Amino acid sequence: MAHFKLASPFDPSGDQGQAIEKLTRSIQAGNTHQTLLGVTGSGKTFTIANVIEKTGKPTLVISHNKTLAAQLYSEFRQFFPDNAVEYFVSYFDYYQPEAYIPRSDTYIEKDSSINDEIERLRLSTMSALLTRDDVIVIASVSCIYGLGSPEDYAQAMFPVRKGMLMDRDHFLTRLVEMLYERNDIAFQRGKFRARGDVVEVWPASLENEGVRVEFFGDEIDRISIFDPLTGTVTNIIDAITFYPAKQFVTAADKMKGALVKIREEADLQVAKFEEEGKFIEAQRIRQRTDYDLEMMREMGFCQGIENYSRHLTGRPPGDTPYTLLDFFPDDFLLVIDESHATIPQVGGMYEGDHSRKTTLVDYGFRLPSALDNRPLKFPEFMKRTRQRVYVSATPAKFEILNSVVGNTGYIPHVKKIGTEEGTPERLPRISGADIPVEKFDVSTPGKDLIVEQIIRPTGLLDPIITVKPLKGQIDETIEQCRQRVEIGQRVLVTTLTKRTAEDLTDYLRGVGLKVRYMHSDINTVERVEILRALRLGEFDILVGINLLREGLDLPEVSLVCILDADKEGYLRSQTSLIQTAGRAARHVNGEVVLFADIMTKSIQALIGISTYRRRKQEEYNHLNNITPRSTVRHIQESLHSPVDPFAEHSSIVSEGGSADDTAAVIAQLQEEMVEASRALEFERAALLRDQINELKAMAAGQPVPKGSTKAFKASYLAKAPKKRGKR
């Protein structure tokens, strides 16, 4: 059993204690499925952290949202400072994957910019899982996507120790086999340099630490850790293990066999295209394959090598790929955050990837074997996980039906097209919280393994639910908004369509309210900025659709208005209404106003659940003499903060200014881009990347958006740190 040490100044409060003990008992009893039904703001993350400490199992936490995953990563690192807490996301969580759009003849190459930090985090995760058992990995759903073989990765690891007999050239050869690149000038992560008997390596999984190996003849004389920037030695060690510099690493004999099979497949595909008269496709796949084969033969790697993973690992066609799950031991614990949204995402990843890859194959951009570089199918995912904890305020039927003692498989739940998304009618009355821990049955087949956590440490109650008629809903919304704005509180308003959200925003602005809208057409960076501005009070009312559901932590919001609440469907289902209502659960004056003429089943369920929970919460507060208080949370820094000095300009590029100035701005922006990626602020890094590209385009004389850059660059340089040697 792994040793996890939870570091927190707080003890479990409310009903966190009973939830922790029940989940721990269920997991230790060997049950496969269990559900934590935790209301918004009840401290579900803290509960799971305690469960991890008590069970001692390596843990994978999956989130359906990369932003939520980053938030969970930050929280778990604070909870477990002495353990390995890793962050695993895909490039595709932030960047456009490789794709081809036949209708417009558009080929989209995989964006490899700002991937260095993502790569480091992924390699760090893989290395930790192979060498430690006290590991917690926070991942997006992309963790079910294909990876290299864990056996090949483990075999490629290279341990060295002080006093080991080894020729320096052999040491360099091993580094090259692990896909490290020699560069004696530009020393970067994943590279090494040799100076006489001294070899310096920057391991691909380390952030700011290099390893210096000093030889005395054919013996390793000293191993030290140093700062790659200054060269200062920070520690002397006796031994270290070097891990591969890439996720896909293959032994030389396997690589030779794989190259032969790739060539054979390419020849067959070219012949097929030529037989069908598709000569462009034949030429395209021949050129692509020839280039990739030459790169793999000479370098052991090529861009997009994952598309050849079937040949590299020796798997038969259609066989299940290796994923991050294969790096975990058999007894690991899986925690699925916001399970009602994450489970469907896991089930849908394969079909989406298969459709994209099929187009690439049909038009000669990839070989058919690329289809085997894929996410897991849902049955494969379930087969590779033994113990799961579903965490949600609104668990779906899948979680509820499966969380019973004795269920070692799973009961599939397929939602029919056109039917309502929902949860069992018994959900409002799940009585897990009423059962004492010692009487919580974790061994009798058929008994529910659903644990309620509905008491908030802050004493906050579920928001009051008010139903008002549809007639005059806009006028009533305006009045409700004015009342909240006058006392400095914020409001969320949800509509059914993007057009309605935009029109309503214009109308509310026309009557003097400070309002903005947010929907899927607005990019991720801008969404974060909008939410930040709402919390800062730059405006008071946010109008949206489906984005105002899971994951929004807005303590300043005291009112949620749901327009057309009786239009039952995906946006007005039981799950949707409960999740949306939860956005008002962090304010002491929280209220939800539903505009409806018909009391739908979803509205009735929301009212029933809210009434049940408020009664329990009020009883607890009365017995424990607790006064409810609003949640207080730090406001996130702006993603645009690195370029705030230029906020009044539309772009950081324009005509005018010297080449030296432009180069200085680019250099400074590149530094900030790297720092942003290290801080997991990948949206901010992407913004900086785009601005760097604009500056480079200007320097090359290419057309760019016009603005007033000269003054703006001067402002930037004035605030930038002075470089040594610059005047």
Q: Mean pLDDT in each 10-residue stretch from start to end of the chain (727 residues)? A: 88 92 96 93 92 96 85 90 92 73 82 67 91 94 89 90 93 92 89 94 89 94 93 93 87 88 96 95 95 90 88 90 93 94 90 91 95 94 95 91 94 58 48 75 94 90 94 94 94 93 93 90 73 90 83 84 91 89 90 95 92 91 89 55 36 44 75 74 71 75 49 40 39
pLDDT of residue 727: 34
Q: H or E segment at 5?
A: none
Q: How far apart are CA 336 and CA 98, in angstroms?
A: 28
Distances (CA, A) of 507 to 496, 502, 522, 547, 548: 16, 9, 20, 21, 20
**What does the block give as tokens for 468?**
């008002």
Q: How far apart are CA 42 and CA 17, in angstroms?
A: 12
Handedness of CA 652, 675, 324, 139 (dihedral sign): negative
CB distance 63 to 139 below 8 Å? yes
CB distance 333 to 385 below 8 Å? no
CB count in 10 Å sphere of residue 522? 16
| Sheet strand arrangement including 181-182 | 181-182, 191-195, 198-201, 210-216, 219-226, 233-237
**What does the block give as tokens for 384?**
């590779």
Among 177, 125, 26, smallest CA distance to 326 is for 125
464-468 vs 84-88, strand pairing mode: unpaired
The tokens 């599939």 sit on which residue?
Answer: 412
Write out 81-123 in H/E/C secondary structure. Answer: CCCEEEEECCHHHCCCCCEEEHHHCEEECCCCCCCHHHHHHHH
pLDDT of residue 529: 81
**What is the phi/psi pair of residue 194, to 5°?**
-120, 130
CB count in 10 Å sphere of residue 398? 23
pLDDT of residue 660: 57
DSSP string, 322-354: B-GGGGS-TT-EEEEETHHHHHHHHHHHHHHHH
Distances (CA, A) of 176 to 171, 188, 243, 301: 9, 15, 12, 11
Q: How far apart are CA 342 and CA 602, in angstroms?
A: 21
Burial (CB count within 10 angstroms: exposed 0-12, middle 13-18, buried 19+), residue 439: exposed
**Angle, helices 682-699/524-536, rounded to nearest 10 degrees:** 120
Strand partners of residue 223: 213, 237
Q: How far apart are CA 401 and CA 424, in angstroms?
A: 9
DSSP string, 451-515: EEE---TT-PPPPEEEEE-STTHHHHHHHHHHHHHHTT-EEEEE-SSHHHHHHHHHHHHHTT--E
Cα-to-chain-centroid distance, residue 104: 31
Burial (CB count within 10 angstroms: exposed 0-12, middle 13-18, buried 19+), residue 47: buried
DSSP helix/strand/coil, 599: coil
The tokens 């580094």 sit on which residue?
Answer: 175
DSSP state of 652: S
Q: How far apart are CA 363 and CA 367, in angstroms?
A: 10
Residues 6+ apart with CB under 8 A from 590: 460, 461, 462, 463, 464, 557, 558, 559, 584
Q: Which amino acid is at 677?
A: S
Q: How far apart are CA 367 and CA 358, in angstroms?
A: 10
DSSP helix/strand/coil, 281: helix
Residues 6+ apart with CB under 8 A from 90: 118, 140, 142, 145
Residues 6+ apart with CB under 8 A from 79: 6, 7, 8, 46, 49
Handedness of CA 682, 685, 691, 693 (dihedral sign): negative
Write out 520-570 in H/E/C secondary structure. Answer: CCCCHHHHHHHHHHHHHCCCCEEEECCCCCCCCCCCCEEEEEECCCCCCCH
Handedness of CA 274, 277, 283, 289 (dihedral sign): negative
Find the largest Cα–Cα distance for the chain.
89
219-226 vs 233-237, strand pairing mode: antiparallel
pLDDT of residue 300: 83
**What is the phi/psi pair of residue 436, to 5°?**
-60, 150
pLDDT of residue 220: 95
Q: H or E segment at 191?
A: strand 191-195
DSSP state of 234: E
Q: How far apart are CA 96 and CA 683, in angstroms?
A: 13
DSSP string, 11-27: ---TTHHHHHHHHHHHH
Among 584, 511, 526, smallest CA distance to 552 is for 584
CB distance 559 to 548 below 8 Å? no
DSSP helix/strand/coil, 376: coil
Q: What angle do CA 300, 87, 133 make, to 5 degrees?
A: 90
